[in-house]
Structure 1
Amino acid sequence: MMFDVYTPLLVSLLLPLVGPVIGRRVAPALAARVLTSAAVLTAAATTWSLILLTTALVGDAPPVIREARAAGRHLADPVPEVIGVAACLALAVVVRRVQRAVRAERRTRRALRRLCEGHPRDVELVVAASEVPQAFAIPGRPGRILVTSAMLSALAPAERRVLLAHERAHLTHRHGRLVTAATLAEAANPLLGPVRATVSFLVERWADEQAASVVGDRVTTARALARAALNAGRVRRSCALSFTDRAVTRRIAALQTAPPPHLWSAAAAVLALGALAALFAADATSDLVGLLWNALT
C-alpha cells in the first residue's frame, strides 16, 4: 500500500500530458471515448486512494488493531498520520466539488429543457425567434436541436445542412454523456481539467467530421463553421454542445486536412493508463486488507 496508493496521483499527472497529443493524432470519436474512460477510471482510483489514505487517522481505534498491539504484535501504520489528515481534507473537498458539479449539470439540463417546452415530443428541431445567432443540441429524451432564427438567416442552405448534421451527431452519439462524465471526473480530480477540456473539444471535432461526412464536403463544413462563428461573435455560451464553441479556429483548420486515423495502439495505451490507476488502487486495497487479516490471525 505504501507505494501503490499514490500511483493514481501519478497517472493524474500523466494523463493531461498525453490527452492533447491523442486529441491531435487520433480520430475524434475514438480519442473522445478513450480519454473519457481513462479520466473516469483515474478519478475513481484517486478518490478511492484518498479513502484508503484516511485509514491513517484510524490508528488504534478498531478493536482488532488495539488488541493485536496489546498482545505485543508490531503492526505498522499504512501511511503517516499527517498524510491521512491531508487525505481526509482532500476527500471532503472532492465530495463537495462533485456535489456542486452534479447540481450545476442538473440546473443546466433543466434550463435547456424549459426552452423547448410546449413543442411536441416528436419535433426534433426547435427554431427560436431571436436576434442572437445560436445553435446547440439539448440532450435528453427526446433530444432536441435548438436554433435561433438569426443563425438560420446567417447561413446558406448548404451550410444549414452542416449545422443540423453537426447537432444531430451530438444527439446520436450521446456526446452530452461524455462531456458530463469528463466534467464529473474533473470535479473528483482537478488535475484532470485539461482532459475534460480536450474531451469537450473532441466531441465538437467528432460532430464536425460527422457533418462533413453527411454533407460530403469538408470545405462547405469549414465555411459553415466559420460563418456561424463570425455571426455568433462573443455571445455567451449556455451549452457545451454549441455549434460555434470550443476552439473554432482549430476546428476549421482540422477540416481543411484529411481526417485523422484510428490509431488503435495509441488509444489502447491511453485506456491502459487509466486501467493502471485502477489496478494499483485495487492492489493498495488488497494490501490494507492483508494488514487487517494479519491483525486478526
Structure 2
Amino acid sequence: MRFDVYSPLVLSLLLSAVGPLTARRVAPALAARVLASAAVLTAAATTWSLFLLAAALVGHAPPVIREARADGHPVTDPVPGAIGLAACLALAAIAVRVYRAVRAEARTRRALRLLCAAHPEGTELIVAACEVPRAFAIPGRPGRILVTSGMLSVLGPAERRVLLAHERAHLTHRHGPLLTAATLAAAADPLLAPVRRAVGFLVERWADEQAAATVGDRRTAARALARAALTAGRDHTACALHFTDRAVTRRIAALQTSPPPRLWPAAAAVLLLGALPALLAADATDDLLRLLSGVLD
C-alpha cells in the first residue's frame, strides 16, 4: 500500500516519455492502438489510486479510531491525512477536467453534424460552398466527410483522391473514438498529455499511410498534404480530424520515406507498461482492504 498506490503516478511520467519515441519508430496503426490503450489503463489506475488515498481517510475518522482502540486493535497509518486530503482535491479536479473534455467533444461533434443535417443520411461526401480550405472526417453512424470548395479548388485530381482516402481512413478505422479515449485519459491524468499528442499525430500518420496505399504513390500523397497545408489556415476546429492537423512537416517527411516497421516487441513493452499501473493499483486495493478490515472488525 505504501508504495504501490503511488506507482501509477510515476509510471504515467514514464509512459509520457516513451510515447513520443514509440510514435516515431513504430508503425502508426499499431502505435496508435497501443498508446491509446496504455493511456486509458494508466489513467484509470491513477484515478483509482487517488481514490484509494482518499479512502484511507476512513482510518483517520475519530469514531473509527476510538472504536479500534477500545477493541484493542492497532491503529495503522498507511497514508498521512494531508495526502488523503490532497487526493480528494485531485479527484474533484479530475471530475471537472473530464466533464469539460466530454462537453468539448460533444459540442464539436454536434456543430460538425449540424453542417451535414440538410443532406441525406446515405451521403458520405459533403461539399460546402466555402472559400476557406478545410476537410474534416466527422465520426458517427454514418460517418461523413466534409470538404469545402476552397480545399477542392487547390488540389488536382490525384491529390483529391489522397484527401478523400485520408478522411475515409479516419472513418473506416474509427480514429475518432481512439482519439477521444486518449483525450479523456489525458483529462483524467494530465501527466499523459504527451501521449494524447502522440496519438493525435499517429492517427493522422495512419490515415496518411492508408491514403498513400490507396493512390499507390507516396510522393503524390506528400504533395497533396503539402499543398493543402500551405493554403489552409491554422484556426482548426478542436477535436475534429482535420487533413492538415498535427505536425504536417513531419508527416510530409515520413511520406517521402518507406513506411516504418511494426516492431511488435516495442509495442508489447508499451502495452505492458500501461498494464503495470493497473496491477499495482489492484495490489494496493487489496492492502487497503486488509488494513481497514483490521481496524473496523
Q: How many pairs does the alignment contain?
A: 297
**Does structure 1 conserve the Cα–Cα contact (< 8 Å) formed by 2:60 and 2:81?**
no
Q: Which runs of 5+ in 2 are unaligned?
A: none
Residues in 1 aligned to 2:87 and 2:64: alpha-carbon distance in whole angstroms: 23
Amino acid paired to 1:241: L
Residues 219-258 of structure 1 correspond to what in structure 2 (within 5 A)?
219-258=219-258
Which deviates the most, 3-12 or 287-296?
Answer: 287-296
1:102 aligns with 2:111: no
- Residue 178 of structure 1 is matched in structure 2 by 178
1:194 aligns with 2:194: yes
**Does structure 2 conserve the Cα–Cα contact (< 8 Å) formed by 1:60 and 1:66?**
no
Residues 103-118 of structure 1 correspond to what in structure 2 (within 5 A)?
103-118=103-118
Residues 1-297 of structure 1 correspond to what in structure 2 (within 5 A)?
1-61=1-61, 66-295=66-295
Q: TM-score, normalised by structure 1?
A: 0.97
Q: Which runs of 5+ in 1 are unaligned?
A: none
Q: TM-score, normalised by structure 2?
A: 0.97
CA-CA distance at 1:12 after TM superposition: 0.7
Which deviates the most, 209-218 or 61-70?
Answer: 61-70
Amino acid paired to 2:101: A
CA-CA distance at 1:73 after TM superposition: 1.6
Amino acid paired to 2:156: A
CA-CA distance at 1:289 after TM superposition: 1.1
C-alpha RMSD over aligned residues? 1.4
Q: Secondary structure at the match of 1:145?
A: strand
**Does structure 1 conserve the Cα–Cα contact (< 8 Å) formed by 2:56 and 2:79?**
yes
**Does structure 2 conserve the Cα–Cα contact (< 8 Å) formed by 1:200 and 1:240?**
no
Counting aligned pairs with the same residue, the percent is 76
**Does structure 1 conserve the Cα–Cα contact (< 8 Å) formed by 2:56 and 2:78?**
yes
Which deviates the most, 163-172 or 59-68?
Answer: 59-68
Q: Secondary structure at the match of 2:241?
A: coil
CA-CA distance at 1:290 after TM superposition: 1.2
CA-CA distance at 1:60 after TM superposition: 4.4
